[in-house]
A and B are shown apart, each in its own frame.
Chain A
């Protein structure tokens, strides 16, 4: 046994966690993740400082770059909110990716079936697409919600399996029924179903030229406010939080967990579906393969990093949007995913700081503890 002059004393927190600490652990986790990822990058022979410098320029270096970052942040905000709502109830909706795809599919129905006349006015087309997108996502959330409520089927696996089903479902329509002259994409939608972009106003305001930011970002901001209100101010939100914190107490209070499981899954799905709609109506303007580079999964990390707080979701989404923009331009392609994995790991490990106080004290003869024992 080596005797160090200092020893690490770990004791349970008895007092309130300082208000700044949760946010500090989030920031610290991001920093730590970049450091560790830098070591991996150095290991495979890249210069991490160069890579990160490139990242910074490609994402915040100019108005055009920043606009691209916000465009990528838009679906992340919506999906991050979708995950936050569900996770608040300890309902593990890992299916935002599939709900995103089905939302995009349903929104496309408006244009491609077509459900509305192809020359319909934008004020009709866009709300219809929004409604359909949310409906599709809600439906894709309803299925696992029903199975969970009715048969106690683990929602993690069902939502995940439905992700694969959703992608295959979209592929059938893209490759077969709606294929544009044999290409693996549908024809481009008419301009009346495009979300307005800043560059559309470049004639009046030349500064906007080339900026791709579209109206969808306001969907995200509005949804964040709505989710905040639901969770913090409404009776429903109170039920969601109570079920998440203490299902036993919720049951005694006469709250139906089964009903809430279904409704929360649908709300969560609707938010992810709206993200899918915003992406095809605001960015790609048609339905095609790989409309999401894993937004649904990144949303999980976004929600967690934001500590399930809607305002935090917006800030974290911008950071992760930047990560997506940057990683499009570098090889190997897994860098963003690796950094995300490290961020999440550092973050959940740091939770221990919220529950325990760790202090350096002058060596006091402490009995050797059990590995892993903190009490």
Chain B
């Protein structure tokens, strides 16, 4: 067990959660809760892997994954924004639909080898002491993209005019509508962007982090963890990125603790029996619950958190929110 290895792997796996949860943040800030992340992630992982397998080009795979998950998310947009159906139920059905489609269309992909995303060093930065080997060495381009993406999205939401429109639509759609902002179009747009980002996250799994197609085990609940992270991060992309990387590092550390390997130079005292690994595997899920408790308590105390119109359909000319 080596701290550098754990942090390095944490950044790689955390990138999955980073893109998935920032996508969800964008949808939720526009007022649409999308619980279908797990389904979109799995569909993205399948589409990315199968297109890369067919074309030999992982970048086409990434594009296909984003498109597939984005299109899937539009089903949620139609049902919740236009038909004003319950967002919780629609999101759940999106997970079913995405999972089912991915399993059916991904039939026969198991055990295949597709062209994967290349890992490379960022010249210059990689030479930095301590930080270099962890942050800038031997990562996939998606990881480097993530470093830039989180602050950019934060800036976009908080400091730009379109970002202000996004917040207005999620907080007070009636006011946004009066200002001339097209509430429906923006909600459609951000749900779609959220879907595309989930697709990107999914393809990152199957084309980089844990290459291959392992049916439903490919994502193993990370979509749900991403949704939990959004609440923990209080809808802030920077906090979401931090949480994602912490979670990623933790996952890797737990993996190391499961074996009889040495721990910081000593024999692992936590290793009693390989079956105790089941308890260690529970930790990410339990921590998500803990993070939620912390996030929810902070939200209650500071009276902030969820966008005011989250989960509410907007019906023009009816009750104003």
| Of A158, A335, A373, the contact of B289 (CB 8 Å cutoff) | A158
Report whether B89 and A44 are in contact in the complex, using a CB–CB cutoff of 8 Å: no
Give the A-B contact count at a CB cut-off of 8 A: 168
Contacts of B107 in A (CB 8 A): 44, 331-334
Contacts of A338 in B (CB 8 A): 97, 100-101, 103-104
Chain A residue nearest in CB terms to B287: A161
- Docked Cα-Cα span, A12 to B1, in Å, equals 64
Report whether B100 and A334 are in contact in the complex, using a CB–CB cutoff of 8 Å: yes
- Docked Cα-Cα span, A370 to B185, in Å, equals 10
* Residue count of chain A within 8 Å CB distance of chain B: 53
- The answer to whether residues A300 and B92 also contact, given A165-B285, A176-B273, A370-B316 and a CB cut-off of 8 A, is yes
Most buried by A among B39, B85, B188, B225: B85
A152 at the binding interface (Cβ < 8 Å): yes
Contacts of A297 in B (CB 8 A): 96
- Docked Cα-Cα span, A156 to B83, in Å, equals 23
Report whether B275 and A172 are in contact in the complex, using a CB–CB cutoff of 8 Å: yes
Contacts of A331 in B (CB 8 A): 107
- Docked Cα-Cα span, A304 to B89, in Å, equals 9
Return the CB mask of B263-294 against A: 1 if under 8 Å, else 0.
Answer: 00000000001011011011001101100110
- Docked Cα-Cα span, A301 to B185, in Å, equals 30
- The answer to whether residues A371 and B185 also contact, given A168-B279, A341-B93 and a CB cut-off of 8 A, is yes
- Docked Cα-Cα span, A337 to B292, in Å, equals 29
Chain B residue nearest in CB terms to A347: B93
- Give min CB distance, A169 to chain B, whole Å: 7
Report whether B289 and A147 are in contact in the complex, using a CB–CB cutoff of 8 Å: yes
- The answer to whether residues A161 and B279 also contact, given A338-B104, A351-B85 and a CB cut-off of 8 A, is no
Contacts of B94 in A (CB 8 A): 341, 345
Stretch at the interface among B74-82, B132-140, B145-153, B251-259: B74-82
Contacts of B225 in A (CB 8 A): 161
- Docked Cα-Cα span, A340 to B39, in Å, equals 13
| Of A44, A152, A332, A342, the contact of B300 (CB 8 Å cutoff) | A152
- The answer to whether residues A175 and B278 also contact, given A161-B286, A161-B288, A349-B79 and a CB cut-off of 8 A, is yes
- The answer to whether residues A351 and B83 also contact, given A157-B224, A337-B99 and a CB cut-off of 8 A, is yes
- Docked Cα-Cα span, A44 to B106, in Å, equals 10
Within A143-158, the residues touching B (CB, 8 Å) are 147, 151-154, 156-158
Contacts of B88 in A (CB 8 A): 92, 156
Report whether A345 and B79 are in contact in the complex, using a CB–CB cutoff of 8 Å: yes
A284 at the binding interface (Cβ < 8 Å): no
A278 at the binding interface (Cβ < 8 Å): no
- Give min CB distance, A174 to chain B, whole Å: 9
Report whether B104 and A44 are in contact in the complex, using a CB–CB cutoff of 8 Å: yes
Contacts of B96 in A (CB 8 A): 297, 301, 337, 340-341, 344
Report whether B292 and A157 are in contact in the complex, using a CB–CB cutoff of 8 Å: yes
A40 at the binding interface (Cβ < 8 Å): yes
Within B178-223, the residues touching A (CB, 8 Å) are 182, 184-185, 188, 215, 221
B296 at the binding interface (Cβ < 8 Å): yes
Contacts of B278 in A (CB 8 A): 168-169, 171-172, 175
- The answer to whether residues A44 and B105 also contact, given A160-B224, A161-B224, A371-B82 and a CB cut-off of 8 A, is yes
- Docked Cα-Cα span, A94 to B89, in Å, equals 11
Report whether A339 and B224 are in contact in the complex, using a CB–CB cutoff of 8 Å: no
- Docked Cα-Cα span, A164 to B83, in Å, equals 33
B228 at the binding interface (Cβ < 8 Å): yes
Return the CB mask of B4-40 against A: 1 if under 8 Å, else 0.
Answer: 0000000000000000000000000000000100010
Report whether B275 and A176 are in contact in the complex, using a CB–CB cutoff of 8 Å: yes
- The answer to whether residues A337 and B289 also contact, given A161-B224, A351-B85, A375-B318 and a CB cut-off of 8 A, is no
Contacts of B215 in A (CB 8 A): 333-334
Chain A residue nearest in CB terms to B185: A371
B98 at the binding interface (Cβ < 8 Å): yes
A206 at the binding interface (Cβ < 8 Å): no
- The answer to whether residues A334 and B103 also contact, given A341-B97, A375-B315 and a CB cut-off of 8 A, is yes
B261 at the binding interface (Cβ < 8 Å): no
- Give min CB distance, A346 to chain B, whole Å: 9
Contacts of A352 in B (CB 8 A): 83-85
Report whether A164 and B221 are in contact in the complex, using a CB–CB cutoff of 8 Å: yes
A365 at the binding interface (Cβ < 8 Å): no
B86 at the binding interface (Cβ < 8 Å): yes
- Give min CB distance, A255 to chain B, whole Å: 21
- Give min CB distance, A128 to chain B, whole Å: 27
- Give min CB distance, A352 to chain B, whole Å: 4
Chain A residue nearest in CB terms to B306: A154
Report whether A348 and B317 are in contact in the complex, using a CB–CB cutoff of 8 Å: no
Most buried by B among A147, A331, A338: A338
- Docked Cα-Cα span, A64 to B145, in Å, equals 57
Chain A residue nearest in CB terms to B315: A375
A53 at the binding interface (Cβ < 8 Å): no
B51 at the binding interface (Cβ < 8 Å): no
- Give min CB distance, B90 to chain A, whole Å: 5
- Give min CB distance, B96 to chain A, whole Å: 4
Contacts of A348 in B (CB 8 A): 79, 83, 85-86, 89-90, 93
Contacts of B188 in A (CB 8 A): 372
Contacts of B285 in A (CB 8 A): 161-162, 164-165
- Docked Cα-Cα span, A151 to B291, in Å, equals 12
Report whether A339 and B184 are in contact in the complex, using a CB–CB cutoff of 8 Å: no
- Docked Cα-Cα span, A374 to B278, in Å, equals 51
- Docked Cα-Cα span, A151 to B300, in Å, equals 8
Report whether A341 and B296 are in contact in the complex, using a CB–CB cutoff of 8 Å: no
Chain B residue nearest in CB terms to A353: B83
- Docked Cα-Cα span, A355 to B293, in Å, equals 37
Contacts of B292 in A (CB 8 A): 147, 153-154, 157-158
Q: Which 9 A-B pairs have the closest CB atoms?
A: A334-B103, A338-B100, A341-B97, A332-B107, A337-B100, A344-B93, A341-B96, A372-B82, A176-B275
Q: List 9 A-B contacts (CB under 8 A).
A: A44-B104, A152-B296, A175-B278, A300-B92, A334-B101, A349-B83, A352-B83, A352-B84, A375-B318
